[in-house]
């Protein structure tokens, strides 16, 4: 099987994240990102309007896929079954690029207070999107909030498990679903 080769868009994202880790988000310029990715500045601007958008784009896609999966789950699905459908939809769209990106994004976030704040806001945004999708299905509050928080935790834990694998076999989805099942089982022991 051929090794995965990133295209220009992927190279730009990876280069940016590495530069953020090395020099901080603020100090990194579009010119540096393009240079590291081996493309011109105008190629950068063909993919992203600015440096900020480069981080936001992936997050918006993720939120949209989670919501789509929740919305399209069978009408009689329990809240966590709808969350599982959202996780499956989003996780299935994640490929080698996302696995490659994970540890490098983690390094960038640890190195930057600004990226930590953005990363936190991203989690809150995903929880809100999933809560709203469940409320729209008629799941009552606060059950919708609670199920959405389990979904965010499951996504993060599944992603971490996937990143830690030596070799990827089956993609992110089984890890995210296993994490959700683990959280569901734990909820019986809250007291």
Instruction: By CB under 8 A, name the binding residues for a copy of itself.
Output: 77-81, 116-118, 120-121, 123-124, 142-143, 145-147, 149-150, 153, 157, 179, 182-184, 186-187, 189-191
Provide CB contacts within 8 A for 165, sequence distance 6+. Answer: none
Q: Which is nearer to a copy of itself, 11 or 89 (CB)?
A: 89
DSSP tag of 72: T
Q: Which is nearer to a copy of itself, 34 or 86 (CB)?
A: 86
Minimum distance from CB of 149 to a copy of itself (Å)?
5
The whole-angstrom separation of Cα 102 and Cα 17 is 10
The whole-angstrom separation of Cα 86 and Cα 137 is 13
Minimum distance from CB of 52 to a copy of itself (Å)?
11
- With b meaning 16 or more CB within 10 Å and e meaning fewer, what string describes 58-76? bbeebbebbbebbeebeee
Q: Which is nearer to a copy of itself, 7 or 74 (CB)?
A: 74
Minimum distance from CB of 137 to a copy of itself (Å)?
12
Q: Which is nearer to a copy of itself, 36 or 137 (CB)?
A: 137
Provide the greatest CA pair distance for the chain. Answer: 58
């Amino acid at each position: 099987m051929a090794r995965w080769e990133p295209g220009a868009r992927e190279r730009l994202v990876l280069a940016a994240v590495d530069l953020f880790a090395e020099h901080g988000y603020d100090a990194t310029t579009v010119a540096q990102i393009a240079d590291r990715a081996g493309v011109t500045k105008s190629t950068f601007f063909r993919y992203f309007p600015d440096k900020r958008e480069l981080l936001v784009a992936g997050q918006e896609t993720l939120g949209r896929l989670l919501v789509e999966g929740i919305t399209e789950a069978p009408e009689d699905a329990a809240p966590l079954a709808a969350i599982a459908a959202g996780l499956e939809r989003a996780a299935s769209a994640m490929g080698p690029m996302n696995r490659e990106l994970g540890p490098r994004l983690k390094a960038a976030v640890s190195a930057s207070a600004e990226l930590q704040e953005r990363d936190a806001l991203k989690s809150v945004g995903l929880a809100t999107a999933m809560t709203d999708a469940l409320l729209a299905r008629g799941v009552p509050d606060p059950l919708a909030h609670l199920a959405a928080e389990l979904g965010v935790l499951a996504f993060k834990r599944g992603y971490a498990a996937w990143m830690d694998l030596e070799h990827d076999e089956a993609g992110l989805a089984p890890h995210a679903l296993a994490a959700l099942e683990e959280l569901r089982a734990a909820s019986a022991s809250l007291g």
